[in-house]
Homo-oligomer: A and B are copies of this chain.
Amino acid sequence: RPRREVLFFPSQVTCTEALLQTPGLPSGPPSGCPCSLPHSESSLSRLLRALLAARSSLELCLFAFSSPQLGRAVQLLHQRGVRVRVITDCDYMALNGSQIGLLRKAGIQVRHDQDLGYMHHKFAIIDKKVLITGSLNWTTQAIQNNRENVLIMEDTEYVRLFLEEFERIWEEFDPT
């Protein structure tokens, strides 16, 4: 049965170090982290886990991206050789705490809009197989405080349609 899941937010604030520090073992135990946060599952940890499952490609099409944990996850994937491409909105990109500069510095391809409307999507495609989409901007404010939803769907048809949308925008935002 193909994966069909929804994560609701706000997420409980939990420690996600175990996920982010043992890249080879994304489902390993917290291995004795001494911090005072709970080490249980949360909507954020499930979202991180879904992302960290990527083995070959990751397309990100995100209005806002400032969550340090999600930024670290994307950098980990890039380090592991996953082909990461990021589309974002130029208005938000300039804001405080945006992860976009860090991703670029790490060598990840980023393109952004230059037109009037917002690039307001919030979706990710994992290995051209799983679609992650919803209302959640990838910011700590949204993750910890807002009521949000994120669907995680293994769905050939939706993946195809969102990938086409990604490629359309990717070409349109080509700076050259």
Listed stretches A28-36, A46-54, A112-120; interface member: A112-120
List which A121-176 residues lie within 8 A (CB) of chain B: 121-123, 133-136, 141-142, 144-149, 151, 155, 157-158, 161-162, 165, 169
**Residue in contact with A117 in the complex, picked from B116, B121, B146, B162, CB distance below 8 Å:** B146
Contact yes or no, A118 B134, CB < 8 A: no
Q: Does A94 contact B (CB under 8 A)?
A: no
With contact pairs A4-B157, A4-B158, A162-B6 given, residues A118 and B145 touching in the complex (Cβ less than 8 Å): yes
Measured between beta carbons, the chain B residues less than 8 angstroms from A10 are 117
A-side interface mostly: mixed
Measured between beta carbons, the chain B residues less than 8 angstroms from A151 are 133, 151, 158
Contact yes or no, B121 A148, CB < 8 A: yes
Contact yes or no, A169 B147, CB < 8 A: yes
Contact yes or no, A147 B120, CB < 8 A: yes
- Number of chain A residues close to chain B: CB under 8 A: 34
State in angstroms the CA–CA spacing of A141 and B120 once bound together. Answer: 12
CB A2 to nearest CB in B, in angstroms, measures 12
CB A47 to nearest CB in B, in angstroms, measures 15
Closest to A10 in B: B117
**Residue in contact with A121 in the complex, picked from B116, B147, B158, B162, CB distance below 8 Å:** B147
State in angstroms the CA–CA spacing of A112 and B123 once bound together. Answer: 27
CB A5 to nearest CB in B, in angstroms, measures 9
A-B pairs with the 3 shortest C-beta distances?
Answer: A117-B145, A120-B146, A117-B146
